Amino acid sequence: MRKLKLQVQMSVDGFISSRSGEMDWMELNWSNDIKNYVSEILKEVDTILLGKNLAKGFIPHWAAVANDKSNPEQKAGVIYTQTPKIVFSKTLTKSEWENTTIENGDFVEKINALKNQSGNDLIVYGGGQFVSSLIKEKLIDELHLFINPSILGSGMPIFQDVDAMQKLNLVSSKHFDCGIIVLVYKPL
């Protein structure tokens, strides 16, 4: 069975964006050790899941990076661009992006079907409401929480839709040279 992994950047106090949506609190000057960590995660992944709002920035950004030979992140851009993506949306009816399909149906049913198909793992990147819904429905098999050295005080919480306690098992924790700590949890 395929696993669904979550990779999300968050503040120490559990927010994935500030109240007004700014992302300037994130540590974007990643050290090589964290870049290698992300590369290792991606080796086991063959499908990226995204919510509509995140997809609108994520897909065009990485496509531009993939096409810019002077960008030191070009290799990552190529990987993100070439990996098949599924965007979950209630309003989009067709994909405006290459290598991307739109899913309008029941996300729980679709993701469970994807997890039961043969293939490598799936990964979802933070988009607040979509990811929170996935956590609420207990669809995430591994949470890779990238804790940035910032406190926001308020903003969009990653666990906003979760309405019942969920116990987790800490699988690993790692401190990276850029100041980010990654906590990896699996549901009990």
DSSP 91: S
Give the pLDDT confidence score for residue 20 in this predicted structure.
Answer: 85
Give the pLDDT confidence score for residue 126 in this predicted structure.
Answer: 66
| Domains (range + CATH), the chain | 4-18+30-180 (3.40.430.10)
Give the pLDDT confidence score for residue 45 in this predicted structure.
Answer: 97
Query: Alpha helix locations (H) across the chain?
Result: 32-43, 52-66, 74-82, 107-116, 128-136
What average pLDDT does range 23-45 have in this prediction?
93
Question: Which helix (H) or strand (E) is 159 found in, with range?
Answer: none
What average pLDDT does range 69-95 have in this prediction?
93
Rounded to two decimals, the pTM is 0.94
CA dihedral 6, 169, 13, 107 (to 10 degrees): 30
Please say if the pLDDT value at position 179 is more than 70: yes
What average pLDDT does range 163-167 have in this prediction?
95
Report d(CA 34, CA 23) in Å as an integer: 19
